[in-house]
Amino acid sequence: MSRRRLTLMVAGVLTLVLGGAGALLPVPYVALSPGPTENTLGDVKGKPVITVSGHQTYPTTGKLSLVTVAYQGGPEARIDLLTALRGWMDPTVAVVPEETIFPKAVSVKEVEQQNTQEMSSSQQDATAAALTELKIPIKVYVAVASTQKGKPADGKLLPNDEITEVDGAAVRTVDEVAAGVRKHKAGEQVRFTIVRGGKPMTVEVGTISGPSGSIVGVIMGSQFKFPFTVNVNVGDVGGPSAGLMFSLGIYDKLTPGPLTGGRSIAGTGTITPDGQVGPIGGIQQKLVGARDAGATVFLTPADNCDDAVQAVPKGLRLVKVSTMHEAVQAVDALRTGSGQVASCPAR
């Protein structure tokens, strides 16, 4: 064998080896793909997704399914270049920079904890939205979520404390509490009336200067007291995007007759306690997951319509919704065949 031929063979082998090794190198991207769907009217691992105690419920049929996005990759388990390339070639997969899902300043554990917290909050908001749609009264109050370490409230206000008054004035919202604190100059004391473990008490907390006035270093959130108990069980699903479908599932169980009329309906969207539907991410993957699960109708947040119409699979009808009320009306119209149903406009 000539020296030239041997050199070419060695170079070819090295190129293949280096190319193969390069394809297996980890890259800072995350592959998003269609995740599982869960019927909010059904069960997860043998347990109902939605259970209601203390109020009459009614039989349901059909499906009101939430949809999810699965991801592969992340700082602790990066995908390789070959996997990323396969994802870029697959229209049902989105390959996005790692920082889109895992910001550099936040750990993977913190991201997972945030997703869990958002899911828990969305379940509360969904219950509030469903009961508001049904005109069932609920009580809203301000609760302590946490305090900032080293700030005046640290150790004085505790998680789950219900704040009822600031300096003797009744408060019902987070903004009202913050406004009461800002009335003080830095260094002054604020008198909080709270309920802790069912017992009312008064706690005085000092103030310090903050970006927009005086603060005490407390993180608060709105909480609800419902007249009966609603529990939601979804296993390992996280994030806030299932809010709309939780609301519809709760609404269906609390009203006579099946809302869907036996149809398989999927959807997505965040929900506020007063029933406003917000946009979500991963709409393309969620549409594919919904169709693969047999859904024929997809409830789409109005702000996601533009992206949805470009990725909707054949056989899936997009119904545009902006509020819980619109969603109920749309599903009702689909069941009865009466009334107009808003669709995402074609581009």
Catalytic residue among 33, 122, 241, 247: 241
Q: In 3D, which of 30, 14, 10, 31 has the Cα closest to residue 22?
A: 14
Contact 293, 268 (CB under 8 A): no
Tell me if residue 241 is catalytic. yes
- Provide the residue type at 64 as one letter: L
Neighbour tally for 283: CB within 10 Å = 25
3-state secondary structure of 313: coil
Q: Which of 151, 156, 286, 320 is catalytic?
A: 286
Query: 45: which residues sit within 8 A by CB, 6+ positions away?
Result: 235
Query: Is 286 a known active-site residue?
Result: yes
CB-based contact 264:63 (threshold 8 Å): yes
Distance, CA of 74 to chain centre: 19
Kindly list the distances between the CA atom of residue 110 and the CA atoms of 27, 104, 113, 138, 146, in Å, as whole numbers in the listed order. Answer: 22, 11, 5, 32, 15
- Distance from C-alpha of 137 to C-alpha of 156, rounded to nearest angstrom: 32
Q: Which residues are catalytic?
A: 241, 286
